[in-house]
Amino acid sequence: MSPTATVPFSTLIREASQRQHTEAENSSFMSDMLGGRLGVAAYRAYTEQLWFVYRALEGAADRLAGDPVAGPFLRPELFRTAALERDLDHLHDGADWRAALRPLAATETYAARVMEVARDWPGGYVAHHYTRYLGDLSGGQVIRGTAERTWGFARKGDGVRFYVFEEIANPAAFKREYRELLDALPVEGPERLRIVDECQRAFSLNTAVFHALGEAAGTQDR
Ligand code: HEM
């Protein structure tokens, strides 16, 4: 038995991604944006890129709903595309933003990987699902508060709806249940490690998007 087989999967995946989490949190783009050193255009650009990522994640939901590995994670109360679209309507002052919106190359790579695993590998899809949604339920709340204060969005209103999970009354309890789902994943041995690797890849894909956004906003990763 491998030593990792006895560790609950939720612990394994969290610990394996901790270093990259710190890296993502402290990326120049995130720290400049949350430190109030970037204008609302940077926040809008970030939100735009998220739209491509969540369309990839959620576009696969119907197909994966009955899958024994990925299916239990596909909870409609997590879906973010509609909230992102309301935020983008607001951030573009109601103008039609869809036609002109383009993913950055880094975002395209990220979304393509999500679509690939959604098609071929449910365990890999879970890794991407965990990386985004559990993060949104956690650090996302810090980002929301800062965005409200920095750019004057209404509390939990248009502009920050992405961070507001209207249908999750108790995020702490939800996260506990989510970790139970991770622990109950019907996967063993090398497949657990493959999923952990994919989570690390998901973090790297996020960091690459931050880097590209930072360059576009005129910051450099230090
Ligand atoms: C400034 C940005 C960020 C802040 C302040 C932040 C903060 C946090 C905090 C405080 C937690 C712990 C919550 C808890 O234990 O319940 C957390 C968890 C998490 N964050 Fe972040 N985070 C940030 C960015 C990110 C990014 C960019 C990602 C990935 C794309 C991410 C993914 C995660 C995940 C997956 C967890 C859950 C870890 C676990 O308990 O398994 N975070 N974050």
Grouping H, G, I as helix, E, B as strand and the rest as coil, residue 221 is coil
Write a three-state SS string for 201-216: HHHHHHHHHHHHHHHH
21 lines ligand 1 (CB under 6 A): yes
Residue of minimum CA distance from atom 7 in ligand 1: 139
**Amino acid identity for residue 84 in this structure:** L
Name the residue of 138, 170, 196 to mutate for ligand 1: max ligand atoms within 8 A of Cβ: 138
Name the DSSP letter for residue 131: I
Nearest to 54 by CA among 114, 130, 118: 114
Take atom 36 of ligand 1 and give the residue whose Cα is closest.
135
**What's the 196 CA to ligand 1 centre distance in angstroms?**
16
Asked if pLDDT for residue 157 goes beyond 60, the answer is yes
Distance CA 112, CA 146 (A): 30
User: pLDDT (tens digit, 9 = 90+) per residue, 173-195?
Assistant: 999 999 999 999 999 999 999 99
Kindly report, residue by residue over 95-136, the tens digit of the pLDDT: 999 999 999 999 999 999 999 999 999 999 999 999 999 999
Coil, helix or strand at residue 58: helix
Asked if residues 36 and 204 have their Cβ atoms less than 8 Å apart, the reply is no
Predicted pLDDT of residue 94: 87
**Percentage above 90 pLDDT, the chain:** 92
Task: Give 3's pLDDT tier (boundaries 50, 70, 90).
Answer: low
Query: Domain 8-216 class?
Result: mainly alpha
* Burial annotation 29-57 (CB, 10 A radius, 16+ → b, else e): bbbbbbeeebeeebbbbbbbbbbbbbbbb
Please say whether the beta carbons of 214 and 28 come within 8 A: yes
Cα 34 versus chain centre, distance: 17
Q: Whose Cα sits closest to atom 33 in ligand 1?
A: 135
Distance 87 CA to ligand 1 centre (A): 21
Domain ranges of the chain: 8-216
Q: What is the pLDDT of residue 221?
A: 47
Minimum-distance ligand 1 atom for the alpha carbon of 14: 41
* Substitution candidate for ligand 1 out of 19, 21, 133 with most atoms within 8 A of CB: 21
User: What ligand 1 atom has the least distance to the C-alpha of 199?
Assistant: 35
Cα dihedral across residues 69, 71, 72, 76: positive or negative: positive
The residue whose CA has the least distance to atom 28 of ligand 1 is 135
Ligand 1 atom closest to Cα of 132? 30
> From the alpha carbon of 31, which atom of ligand 1 is closest?
1
Residue 206 zone, left/alpha/beta (φ > 0; ψ -120 to 50; rest): alpha
In this prediction, residue 218 has a pLDDT band, given cuts at 50, 70 and 90, of: confident
